[in-house]
Structure 1
């Protein structure tokens, strides 16, 4: 490895060292400048400015998790679909790339169809 390679590692090491030193100094400054005064009021649960009422256990409906899961599923699809759409017509990308994306979208469409048939996508 030449001089350029050694210089790159020295720069990286220096950057890491500076980062660690800044982190340690920030933690020390936080410890020295913060005031710690525990009280009963600070130990209570804060819920949007209201006093907590009732127990701490609440049942959530599963459909909200299904909506979240479907959102994540289609967000991931979009993450894969946009870069593919930008580069698929470049030289070197043949029909195999189009078929692979068609399979990918088909699997996701089958999942959406399944959710629709099970009436998961109805809000009421």
Structure 2
């Protein structure tokens, strides 16, 4: 989603469902932006963590918060990626596709 557009900024799921997991891959967007979109035990995996994200994550742990920000502090390696592929093959990790766009409308897909 492009957070700079009204649609992206509202982070509304087209299906209306709450997310169990969000991969956060941009800077300048805080945890509070995602929190309302998460299911009760939802997680935001931040692949661009900063000091604020690390402190927020620590606070979630000590307060036993069910919704959590998880900063990804390691660079993925081949073994990690193979592990994720294995989870996908076993049906333990599923992706949710809220919307589909024909190639001719690819520009609309980022909003």
Q: Give your verdict on TM over 0.5.
A: no
State the structure with bigger RCO (CA 8 A, min sep 6), 1 or 2. 2
Give TM-score scaled by structure 1 length: 0.20
Structure with higher Rg: it is 1
Give TM-score scaled by structure 2 length: 0.21
